Amino acid sequence: MTVTQPVTGLPAGPPAPVGTGEPRVAPAPETGRRRVVSAGRLSIAARGVRFGLWGLVALFILAPCACFLVLSVSPRLFDQGSQWFTLSYLQTIFTGTTAVSVVNSLWVSAAAALMGVAIGLPIAWLAARTTMPGRRFVSIGMWLVLLLPSWLPGIGWERLVVKDGVLTRFGLGSTFVTHAIMGPFGVVLLLGLRCVPFAYLTITASLAGLGQEFEDAARVHGASRPAALRLVLPILAPAIWSALAIGFAESISTFGVAYTLAYNSHFSLATYQLYNAIGNFPPSFPAAAAIGVVLVASVALPLTLQARALRGRSYAVLSARTRQAVRRQLSAKGAVLATGCVALFFAFALGAPGVGAVTGSLLADFGASSRITFVNYAGVFHIPGVMGPIYRSLVYGIVTASVTVVAGFLVARLLSRQRTKATATLDFLLLATVALPGVVFAAGYIFAYNLPFLSRIGVDLYQTVWLLLIGYVASSLPTNARVLVGPVSQVQPSLHDAARAHGAGALRAWTSGVLPAVSRPVVMAWLFTFCGIFLELPISQLLYAPGSPPLSVAINLNIAGYHFGLGLAQAVLSVGIALGLVSLVLLGYRLLAPKGWRRIGSTTRG
């Protein structure tokens, strides 16, 4: 049989069918050249995306934060002192009440992160892999926990346990409970409860890519179900470590709990010390920046532990052959126990804040009467301008979530595919911004984008909606990327390569081969960002455009202006509206997403 040899340097054509006598024909040289050019263009595009991400991170995250943090050693640079270089502000961190508050924040945040994973992991497994009754409502409850601003649980728990509080009025008051909640234990409890949704959503997204074959393989080799579970859990290591890192960073930067429960318990935290440094007259921005330096540096601890735990291991388990997981049938006793434990978590996480907010919103304005009334809710709809901030924050949340989820996916893919020194540095810098309190982040934007030379070159972003949106996106990107790292790290390159091998272009290969596998985590990340922005306060307070206050600022103005009931009614209605949007998005995904997309990561009844 005569065979035509392919042109040197070009790929050989397909093999000739057996018995046909047909020659094997080489591809035309033009096709080979187009493939080489296409690959080159793709490589250039990938490098361009990588450099673009670094540029955006540097411009909108690193530069503003650096402008503020550099005040700790060079106050003169921004006219905040007379010294060009000094270490005196950093030295104060290791003495007096500041040192105590920093130590308190470190151990409390570590305990809260561990508590979040210890509670969130079992709940995620029960909701995703068992027949637990009410499992469909778990995600809705987690989104509701995220929607609550951090100050609301503090106020709710205080109203329950303090003298003459709700428990005392019903004859259930206890000195032991009051001292336990109004102290370090209560602070860890509140922060730990707020870490549970982060752990739940992060781990649930990774469970969606964990097929049934791993458990089946363990069972075939004689492992019991608990032993099979112990074998499978290490595969979730990227998600678990991400949840720990997010929980630690979120806890150490949270201001609401430090301002309410911790302050009233005389338990000082670093974020409140930082707030005092800015809020005192005259304010000491260099002292606040010094505390910010410590908070940013503290995230090196979870990142170092994460890097050591994951070094040299691959967690790419999601492929075209991943099998649908089977739900485990719980016994009657197991179902009751699982449902009871999950219900107990929501009673602690939502019950107390709900009691505090709802009872406050149903009292007459100024809180001067115990008479139940709906006048505050009527005021939300009838007082001019009250509904404006709700519409405004809805738009801000939707725009921020849409932009952030695209950038977050690109960053997550970069972090999960290329573990180099550059990506390790990027990982640290992104997580470090999570640990930076929102008030410091916003102050950095003020210092960075209010510089005179920017106005001279035509960059006038200060006190505009654009700067507020940029601040929202920049503050949300690190957490969003961390949430997506777990699911993205599970996607095998073969999904994209298979689509390319069948003739799909780069974009088509991604939408048909990769997007279906990560669509559910992407939707969750979108909702995660929206919930975080809708009632965000510190950045909104400092960066909102004059005359256009976001929802959180309007609520704060009402409460601070002695319209306490109106502000809480506004907060209750806002949480309801946001929860309705979350439910609408989840329902839309369930109804509109292709069936194959929804089957990836889903389970069947066992």
Please tell me the predicted confidence (pLDDT) of residue 381: 80
Please tell me the predicted confidence (pLDDT) of residue 39: 46
Tokens of 308: 């050591």
CA distance 464 to 130: 49
Residue type, 105: S
Phi and psi torsions of 326, nearest 5° = -110, 130
Please tell me the predicted confidence (pLDDT) of residue 509: 65
If one counts the domains in the chain, the total is: 1
Range of the domain at 265: 45-310+322-605
**Residue 159, CA distances (Å) to 153, 175, 178, 351, 355 in order:** 10, 14, 11, 12, 8
For residue 581, give the 3-state DSSP assignment. Answer: helix
Q: Where is average pLDDT lowest: 25-39, 312-326, 330-344, 350-364? A: 25-39
Q: With 50 as the cut, is the pLDDT of residue 99 above it?
A: yes
The string over 87-106, giving b where at least 16 C-beta atoms fall within 10 Å of a residue's C-beta and e elsewhere, is eebbebbeeeebeebbebbb
Asked if residue 40 is part of any domain, the answer here is no
Asked if residue 518 is part of any domain, the answer here is yes
Please tell me the predicted confidence (pLDDT) of residue 191: 92
3-class SS string, 226-280: HHHHHHHHHHHHHHHHHHHHHHHHHHHHCCHHHHHHHHHCCCCCHHHHHHHHHHC
Helix axes 29-57, 388-417, angle to 10 degrees: 120
Q: Check if the beta carbon of residue 161 is closer than 8 Å to that of residue 88.
A: no
Q: Check if the beta carbon of residue 19 is closer than 8 Å to that of residue 1.
A: no
The pLDDT tens digits of the residues spanning 204-227 come to 877 765 655 556 665 565 656 666
Give the mean pLDDT of 488-504: 66
Q: Which residue has better confidence, 598 or 261? A: 261
CA distance 595 to 324: 13
Phi and psi torsions of 533, nearest 5° = -90, -30
Q: Which residue has better confidence, 254 or 117? A: 117
For residue 306, give the 3-state DSSP assignment. Answer: helix
Please tell me the predicted confidence (pLDDT) of residue 119: 93
Q: pTM value?
A: 0.67
Residue from 437, 464, 436, 440 nearest 450 by CA: 464
Q: With 60 as the cut, is the pLDDT of residue 43 above it?
A: no
Q: Which residue has better confidence, 329 or 424? A: 329
Please tell me the predicted confidence (pLDDT) of residue 189: 92
Q: Check if the beta carbon of residue 130 is closer than 8 Å to that of residue 295.
A: no
Please tell me the predicted confidence (pLDDT) of residue 206: 72
Please tell me the predicted confidence (pLDDT) of residue 108: 93
Helix (H) or strand (E) holding 327: strand 325-327
Identify the CATH number of the domain in which residue 545 sits: 1.10.3720.10
Supply the Cα-derived Rg of the chain in whole angstroms: 27
Number of H helices, E strands in the chain: 32, 2
Give the mean pLDDT of 448-458: 72
Give the mean pLDDT of 117-139: 86
Please tell me the predicted confidence (pLDDT) of residue 27: 44
Please tell me the predicted confidence (pLDDT) of residue 492: 63
CB atoms within 10 A of CB 296: 23
- Confidence bin at 398 (pLDDT 50/70/90): very high
> What angle (nearest 5°) sits at the alpha carbon of residue 371, between those of residues 369 and 377?
100
Q: How many percent of the chain have pLDDT more than 90? A: 8
- Confidence bin at 5 (pLDDT 50/70/90): very low
Please tell me the predicted confidence (pLDDT) of residue 118: 92
- Confidence bin at 319 (pLDDT 50/70/90): very low
Q: How many percent of the chain have pLDDT more than 70? A: 70
Tell me what the pLDDT averaged over the chain comes to: 75
Beta strand pairing call for 325-327 and 603-605: parallel
Asked if residue 188 is part of any domain, the answer here is yes
- Confidence bin at 434 (pLDDT 50/70/90): low
Give the mean pLDDT of 518-523: 80
Q: With 60 as the cut, is the pLDDT of residue 295 above it?
A: yes
Phi and psi torsions of 457, nearest 5° = -100, 10
Give the mean pLDDT of 366-394: 75
Look at phi and psi of residue 540 and say left if phi exceeds 0, alpha if psi is from -120 to 50, else beta: alpha
The pLDDT tens digits of the residues spanning 383-394 come to 777 788 888 999
Helix axes 138-147, 96-129, angle to 10 degrees: 160
Q: Which residue has better confidence, 304 or 72? A: 72
Q: What is the DSSP letter of 221?
A: T
Asked if residue 390 is part of any domain, the answer here is yes
The pLDDT tens digits of the residues spanning 171-203 come to 777 788 888 888 899 899 999 999 998 888 888
CA distance 410 to 165: 49
Q: Which residues pair with 318 in a beta bridge?
A: 491
- Confidence bin at 306 (pLDDT 50/70/90): low
Helix (H) or strand (E) holding 506: helix 506-509
- DSSP-assigned letters across all residues of 110-153: HHHHHHHHHHHHHHHHHHHHB--TTGGGHHHHHHHHHHS-THHH
